Structure 1
């Protein structure tokens, strides 16, 4: 009961409540994309798995390319303002994509340009969000706050995925994209009332962007557990993005019944992430990174093997829910440890290196997903992804630092020093 009272206390802070609502609405908007965009492209007169791969890669490439710049900007300028710009770009991208599909004007160049706008927005949103959280939350409540935010994010994903699947079936993917874009706009408007960050210098350092990036890189590589797990995720995301971005929608469209069943599979993952987030809010493992890695090794590959081997839809849904639990645990323990151990004035840059490393091969995964589906067949391609994930999920355990690093105290020490 004391834990619940402690959590409720966060909602007496108006700044946290505003951030909570804005982030949840933004996540709700973003969760329309996996189903709405995939099936909108596949249902075009010239829609193919290859076209879907190209459009998704057009979003992913600028996201990766600009992620480091996004980290520098979010460390040097008010993070709420950076977040607002990213949400604005995402709003424009979704609405443009929806409008083009709605009127039937869908040249590849235009689809790719709008998708690239979305990727640029994400490159600003992620580092700004990561840096804002420890500005809003006191150090003692970081894990609870990350848990609450993660639960809300995943609950919003459930609603968005189910709603987008229903909208695709009833009125088409174009309207689902427009609704998602409108939610980004609402989230961006709410950030107008977030306070300006207190740590940013208000501009680039005297050494410029490259100097700031070098400082962020030194902080990033100083933590072995950090770069080892990021290296793991760079390859994990390659196969995961191929499976969920291209192979899964094609398999669902051809063999599972379309957007509806696929949206339920993705929603099951989000349900699992909610449950994992609740658990991680209360769990205090002595070695949080080891716990996070083991949680992924146990569950992440299973749903893709089930889909590849032709398991019943119910089994696919249950397996994806368990995979989501592991993601939910990871999604609390990982950022909390990073926020505790990384120097606050470098946190957005380090998080951008985290995101860049984790996502660097995502465009490749999306590009090869379509051809792999054509050459191997959807189920075989999915099985290959699942087997690759089995290997990748256990490799970080080779690192002693991953196995032994404990909860950090750096953020608390720095803030207590500042206060004194």
Structure 2
């Protein structure tokens, strides 16, 4: 395996030590092309801003006189349009140039967050105003996410694709950690309004970077039969691959119950048994550190059976809920959070590599939209039911149930032959089939 530091040459250069300017500046790896570098830089900027703004939005609601229920309403106002418009966003991103969809979505987020910041800084924002603006931001995210994933997946090729995705995710996770830490400190120091303003500025910077993406290599989309036809074609692509819809269904359940445990039960356990919000924040931070470690691991490790290894690494995602159910001491909780973060990131990189390998380029955004839809669709329901379930069966039983569901759905998806058998293919960059001419016979079932 060639390491990133080994792949420093550029086309047409000899790389000899005596060449003029050879040591003037480090050269990026061959797989980190212009589009990939722009996408990674823009993602770091938005991750820094967005993770701080989540904290800022909650405190903006509380500072305006709201309670925990109002915070939940504002959060739900963002999630609902995200679920409603994701599939449309995927179809739009496959119909129009993806970079334009991304820039337009960034402009919407810039306007919504900027207006939110102005309201907080200059007056007394109303709950309906904050809900409306966060809903506008969620709508922008619904169009952005499928376009962004499709653009990223099409920006790399060859056997180093897995490493590229690992580096991208490592940068994203590191920025998310830093953004949450900086956001919390800035909210305490200067107030939520300024943090929201920083997030708006981050969207402006990221949108500018994404406007420089080069799409000349992407052949023009062939006009189809309309939006509904595009959605049906994406649905056929999605349902025609058992490994794809099986894992999306798995994560619909897993994300829902883990989200409920993190958002509802975790803070309650921390309050009653762990010493308050500080230990819970530390546990969440160790999960984030684990994701960075997992992405770093995947820059070196290239498992042959992509989805089999990745799915095995989902089982530890049940450990944090089990530790909260006990409840385990803070040190043990942090340890299992780190392990869960590391292993789930192994899955994340494997999943992106499988999508890149198996899905035709012109359908990437629609498939990504179904993936995103499955990932978030049950989350609002799970968080809404978390309280009633706790009242009915008790908090410990509810948390053991969360852990059990993660194990059950992960074991079930291993029964799908394509999940067990799909293997990594080594396709040199120079021989990879053009994106506009996908192989109609390409499927998971033939890779075992």
- TM-score interval for Structure 1 and Structure 2 normalised by the shorter chain: 0.7 to 0.9
Matches of 2:184 and 2:280 in 1, distance apart? 8
Question: Which residue of 377, 381, 389 maps to 1:360?
Answer: 377
Question: Which residue of 92, 105, 111 maps to 1:86?
Answer: 105
Query: Residues 80 and 197 of structure 1 are in contact (CA less than 8 Å); yes or no, is this contact kept in structure 2?
Result: no
Task: Report matched runs for 1:19-418 at 5 Å.
Answer: 19-41=39-61, 45-48=65-68, 50-102=69-121, 105-196=124-215, 198-199=217-218, 201=220, 205-249=223-267, 252=270, 260-297=278-315, 299-369=316-386, 382-408=399-425, 413-415=432-434
Deviations 1:24-58 (A, max 9, x none): 1112222224433345545653312x333322221
Matches of 2:3 and 2:147 in 1, distance apart? 28
Cα distance, 1:377 vs. partner? 7.5
Query: Residues 239 and 365 of structure 1 are in contact (CA less than 8 Å); yes or no, is this contact kept in structure 2?
Result: yes
SS in 2 for 1:140: coil
Pair 201,258 (structure 1): closer, same or farther in 2 beyond 3 Å: farther
Matches of 1:138 and 1:220 in 2, distance apart? 22
Deviations 1:193-232 (A, max 9, x none): 1113643635x83410011111111111121100000011
Matches of 1:269 and 1:380 in 2, distance apart? 23
Cα distance, 1:22 vs. partner? 0.9
Query: Residues 225 and 399 of structure 1 are in contact (CA less than 8 Å); yes or no, is this contact kept in structure 2?
Result: yes
* Aligned residues: CA RMSD: 3.1
Query: Residues 146 and 336 of structure 1 are in contact (CA less than 8 Å); yes or no, is this contact kept in structure 2?
Result: yes
Q: TM-score, normalised by structure 1?
A: 0.88
Pair 119,96 (structure 1): closer, same or farther in 2 beyond 3 Å: same
Matches of 1:100 and 1:370 in 2, distance apart? 32
Q: Count matched residues.
A: 416
Residue segments in structure 1 that go unaligned for 5+ positions in a row = none
**Higher helix content, 1 or 2:** 1
* Greater relative CO (CA pairs within 8 A, separation 6+): 1
Query: Residues 269 and 323 of structure 1 are in contact (CA less than 8 Å); yes or no, is this contact kept in structure 2?
Result: yes
Which protein shows a greater Rg? Answer: 2
The aligned residue for residue 3 of structure 1 is 3
Cα distance, 1:133 vs. partner? 1.8
Of residues 163-172 and 61-70 in structure 1, the stretch that sits farther from structure 2 once superposed is: 163-172
Pair 242,165 (structure 1): closer, same or farther in 2 beyond 3 Å: same
Matches of 2:410 and 2:60 in 1, distance apart? 32
